[in-house]
């Protein structure tokens, strides 16, 4: 235990982390892109599609399922993906660019606490919104209860782990100007393979096989099976686990240290030479003594006429 940590009260770390989470919650309301795409948009689409009577009719092309039933797992996955790709990387990229993480590295608060607070915040948003969507679908539009509640919980947990690992990787490599672009590049194609634009039941076999190997496609496969049939098969669960492990490793590999993640607002690193003496003048002379490094005084001397 360090001297600094031993002088702090026992409850200080938990209280400090709680304050960081509360502060990140307030900041999330000022940068609501992740909340809009991950919370408001899926709920709005679910209500709109469910309000159309034709979407609740069973169709043979969808395997005897209704369009609304097919889209419920897609919207659940959309919540996870939006918060992982938009809600997590963009604030962290801004903090890194402004040098906030570097400043925290010289305080009792580790920079990793900011990352942990962002994870806690966005995962909490995801859990609350997933429960809300399932509640709206079952109570408002007559969707049956999950056939395998345990399988659904496992599928959602692995989906959060796999997709948020990709969000951590984006956070490690993105900057404020590129974070939104990288988020869109990941979000839109993966949502296509999840069945947002074309239901998975209508995809050609080759395209469906590719969808099953993507994180969102595997998540929809596992969640839909748990909702309609029973415990999900092992294949999509393994795919999600693989994405979680691989992209967590990539996030750690590409993550810059606080000392090298300084932006325009960061404090410049000082070398021992610059911190022990006065800065040199413009002509290479010492401001304090007026002498050059060789000891010669470059100042002009006055000549006596006498």
- Of the two residues 60 and 212, the one the predictor is more confident about is 212
Q: How confident is the model at residue 277 (pLDDT cuts 50, 70, 90)?
A: very low
- Of the two residues 92 and 129, the one the predictor is more confident about is 129
Give the separation between CA 178 and CA 161, rounded to whole angstroms.
23
Range in 71-80, 190-199, 290-299 the model is least confident about: 290-299
Read off the tokens for 56.
Answer: 């609740």
Q: How confident is the model at residue 64 (pLDDT cuts 50, 70, 90)?
A: confident
Q: How confident is the model at residue 31 (pLDDT cuts 50, 70, 90)?
A: low
Three-state SS letters, the chain: CCHHHHCCCCCHHHHHHHHHHHHHHHHHHHCCHHHHHHHHHHHHHHHHHHHCHHHHCEEHHHCCEEHHHHHHHHHHHHHHHHHHHHHCHHHHHHHHHCCHHHHHCCCCCCCHHHHHHHHHHHHHHHHHHHHHHHHHHHHHHCCCCCCCHHHHHHHHHHHHHHHHHHHHHHHHHCCHHHHHHHHHHHHHHHHHHHCCCCCHHHCCHHHHHHHHHCHHHHHHHHHHHHHHCCCCCHHHHHHHHHHHHHHHHHHHHHCCCCCCCCCCCCCCCCCHHHHHCCCECCCCCECCCCCCCCCCCCCCCCCCCC
Q: How confident is the model at residue 8 (pLDDT cuts 50, 70, 90)?
A: very low
| Per-residue pLDDT tens over the stretch 122-131 | 899 999 999 9
**Mean pLDDT for the stretch of residues 115-120:** 86
pLDDT at 282: 44
Token pair 């490793």 is at which residue?
A: 249
pLDDT at 263: 46
Is 279's pLDDT higher than 50?
A: no
Q: How many residues does the chain have?
A: 306
**Mean pLDDT for the stretch of residues 161-168:** 94
Is 256's pLDDT higher than 80?
A: no
Is 251's pLDDT higher than 90?
A: no
pLDDT at 12: 58
Give the separation between CA 241 and CA 161, rounded to whole angstroms.
8
Is 18's pLDDT higher than 60?
A: yes
pLDDT at 20: 79
Q: How confident is the model at residue 271 (pLDDT cuts 50, 70, 90)?
A: very low
pTM of the model: 0.76
pLDDT at 264: 44
Q: Which residues lie closer than 8 Å to 134 by C-beta, 6 or more apart?
A: 72, 76
**Does residue 175 contact residue 90 with C-beta atoms inside 8 Å?**
no
CA atoms within 13 A on the CB side of 136: 21
Is 275's pLDDT higher than 60?
A: no
Give the separation between CA 247 and CA 129, rounded to whole angstroms.
24
Is 260's pLDDT higher than 70?
A: no
| Per-residue pLDDT tens over the stretch 95-117 | 777 777 777 777 767 777 888 88
């Amino acid at each position: 235990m360090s001297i600094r940590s031993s002088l702090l009260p026992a409850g200080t770390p938990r209280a400090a982390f709680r304050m960081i989470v509360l502060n990140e919650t307030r900041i999330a309301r000022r940068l609501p892109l992740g909340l809009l795409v991950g919370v408001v948009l899926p709920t709005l689409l679910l209500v709109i599609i469910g309000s159309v009577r034709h979407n609740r009719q069973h169709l043979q092309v969808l395997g005897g399922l209704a369009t609304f039933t097919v889209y419920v797992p897609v919207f659940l996955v959309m919540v996870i993906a939006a918060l992982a790709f938009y809600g997590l990387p963009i604030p962290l990229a801004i903090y890194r660019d402004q040098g906030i993480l570097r400043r925290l590295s010289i305080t009792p608060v580790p920079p990793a606490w900011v990352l942990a607070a962002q994870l806690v915040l966005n995962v909490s948003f995801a859990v609350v919104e997933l429960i809300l969507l399932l509640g709206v679908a079952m109570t408002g539009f007559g969707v049956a209860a999950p056939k395998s509640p345990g399988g659904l919980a496992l599928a959602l947990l692995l989906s959060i782990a796999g997709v948020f690992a990709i969000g951590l990787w984006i956070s490690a490599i993105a900057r404020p100007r590129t974070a939104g672009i990288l988020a869109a590049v990941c979000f839109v194609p993966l949502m296509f393979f999840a069945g947002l634009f074309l239901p998975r039941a209508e995809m050609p076999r080759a395209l469906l096989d590719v969808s099953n190997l993507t994180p969102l496609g595997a998540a929809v496969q596992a969640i839909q099976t748990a909702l309609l049939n029973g415990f999900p098969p092992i294949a999509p669960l393994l795919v999600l686990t693989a994405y979680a492990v691989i992209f967590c490793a990539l996030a750690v590999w590409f993550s810059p240290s606080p000392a090298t993640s300084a932006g325009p607002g960061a404090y410049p690193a000082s070398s021992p030479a610059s911190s022990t003496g006065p800065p040199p003048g413009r002509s290479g002379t010492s401001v304090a003594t007026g002498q050059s490094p060789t000891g010669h005084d470059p100042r002009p001397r006055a000549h006596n006429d006498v």
